[in-house]
Amino acid sequence: MAKKGENIYKRKDGRWEGRYIKNRDVSHRIIYGYVYGKKYGEVKEKLTVMKAKIIAAPFAINRYHGTLSDWLSFWMTDIMKKNIKSTTYYSYYRLIDNHILGTLGEGCLHEFSRRTIQDFIDSLEYSGLSSGTIRNIYNILKKSLNAAVQREYLEANPCKDVILPKYRRKKVHALTLVQQEMLETHAFRDKDCSPIILALYSGMRIGEISGLKWSDIDFEENTISVKRTVSRILNEATAASKTKIDMNTPKTWESERSIPLAENLKNYLLEKRKYACSDHVISCRGKFAEPRVINYRFQKIVASAGLEKTHFHVLRHTFATRCLENGVDIASLSKLLGHQSTRMTLDTYTDSMLEKRQEAIQILDERLAGIS
């Protein structure tokens, strides 16, 4: 089955057909070109090559009238794919496919104006999308159109001076101590190593836990090395499956880190290693457990513990919150979490630090009482 927006179809004779915009006549009516092949992947490759040839031709406003969809396809495949992580590429693809192509995709690249982009952004806000998602969509549009300007397909970027909705950071939710204890009680019943315990006492992300091997844990030096992460990315090889599993290095240099292994967690892991049936700490049928499997198991335990349905990432927030409650400084917490900067840690957990700010004010207030 062809994917949305690709213009690839299976013919009655069993062959695959791909359609692309080859040119426009003097009345700006579309002139289509076609490619054919026995397999979906063959046609997709031919179609990408043909679109790239048209887009890469010298710019002439009266001759080239390619659509935004054509340009985004070229930009993603020929420019961005080799410069960004596969997970980022898939994130871009989903945002383009879900939010941009349906509204702007068929518009001619050179006909977009600031007003067009502003109306589009306003419609996204009206639809109820979060300000963070809208900003991500806008940034993709802006980057892609900047590249078009650099290649002289556009005189100027129509994204300039577009007003974005005010950014509202979502409040971080963490488990209470009572909720955490309830969850741990059920997690400790697992005969295998529990990803819940790992997340609560290391702060690792679900993809990092999925990719963790026993060889990454140094029981002599007491460290856990985060070397890889598992995620689902776009599967461009076939139309049968939209995504595939990807095991790769962490997205940023800061995420590839070493986490101190405390005594109790060390003892827990040593005990679980005795019965391990896989090179991976969290396994499924003798192999690594992908994030979807881990989350499925997590939801079952959440339900059995009598807690409201929640996301696995809440465990990471809970780890960070417990650290702050027990006096861990922001710089150290930032390193433990693999954040790119302490600013990111501060912005994320600012509400969790309220009690510490209250303590600071109290100390100063006591000084005032002493000198008055």
Among 18-22, 140-144, 321-325, which range has the highest average pLDDT? 140-144
Task: Note the Cα 276 to chain centre separation in Å.
Answer: 30
pLDDT digits (tens, 9 = 90+) for 41-59: 899 888 888 877 776 665 4
pLDDT of residue 7: 83
pLDDT of residue 62: 37
pLDDT digits (tens, 9 = 90+) for 247-284: 989 888 889 999 999 999 999 999 999 989 999 999 99
Domain boundaries, the chain: 1-56, 58-168, 177-358
Residue 242 near residue 3, CB atoms below 8 Å: yes
State how far the Cα of 131 lies from the Cα of 134, in Å rounded to an integer.
5
Nearest to 22 by CA among 66, 57, 61: 66
Measured in degrees and rounded to the nearest 5, phi and psi for residue 33 equal -115, 160
61 pLDDT higher than 70: no
Beta-carbon contacts of 299 under 8 Å, excluding residues fewer than 6 positions away, are: 309
Q: Which of 35-44, 58-67, 213-222 is the least confident region? A: 58-67
Decide which of 324 and 370 is more confident. Answer: 324
DSSP string, 224-293: EE---EEEEEE--S-SS-SEEEEEES-SSTTTS-EEE--HHHHHHHHHHHTT--SSBSSEETTEEPPHHH
Q: Which of 25-29, 32-36, 87-91 is the least confident region? A: 25-29
DSSP state of 37: E
Among all chains, which residue has been given the structure tokens 């104006």? 113
State how far the Cα of 312 lies from the Cα of 299, in Å rounded to an integer.
8
168 pLDDT higher than 80: no
342 pLDDT higher than 80: yes
Beta-carbon contacts of 32 under 8 Å, excluding residues fewer than 6 positions away, are: 19, 20, 21, 22
Q: Which of 64-78, 99-113, 212-226, 354-368 is the least confident region? A: 354-368
146 pLDDT higher than 70: yes
Q: Which of 100-104, 190-194, 196-200, 242-246 is the least confident region? A: 242-246
Nearest to 141 by CA among 100, 180, 169, 80: 100
What is the CATH number assigned to the segment(s) 58-168?
1.10.150.130
pLDDT of residue 116: 95
| Range list of H helices, the chain | 40-56, 68-74, 86-95, 101-104, 114-126, 131-150, 177-187, 195-202, 206-211, 263-273, 291-304, 314-325, 330-337, 342-349, 354-371
State how far the Cα of 206 lies from the Cα of 299, in Å rounded to an integer.
13
C-alpha angle 221/226/231, rounded to 5°? 160
- Provide the b/e sequence for 28-55 (b: ≥16 CB within 10 Å): eeeeeeebebeebeebbebbbebbeebb
Kindly indicate the confidence band of residue 234, based on its pLDDT and cuts at 50, 70 and 90.
confident
State how far the Cα of 171 lies from the Cα of 42, in Å rounded to an integer.
47
Residue 189 near residue 304, CB atoms below 8 Å: no
Decide which of 352 and 151 is more confident. Answer: 151
Kindly indicate the confidence band of residue 89, based on its pLDDT and cuts at 50, 70 and 90.
very high
pLDDT of residue 291: 95
pLDDT digits (tens, 9 = 90+) for 309-337: 999 999 999 999 889 888 888 899 999 99
Tell me the two tokens of residue 24.
């426009």
pLDDT digits (tens, 9 = 90+) for 274-307: 989 999 999 998 899 999 999 999 999 999 999 9
170 pLDDT higher than 90: no
Among 162-176, 254-268, 357-371, which range has the highest average pLDDT? 254-268
- 177-358 CATH fold: hpI Integrase; Chain A (1.10.443)
Q: Kindly tell me the burial class for residue 227, based on how many C-beta atoms sit within 10 Å of its own C-beta (0-12, 13-18, 19 or more).
A: middle
Nearest to 70 by CA among 106, 28, 34: 106
pLDDT of residue 353: 60
Tell me the two tokens of residue 259.
């986490």
Q: Kindly tell me the burial class for residue 2, based on how many C-beta atoms sit within 10 Å of its own C-beta (0-12, 13-18, 19 or more).
A: middle
Mean pLDDT (the chain) is: 87
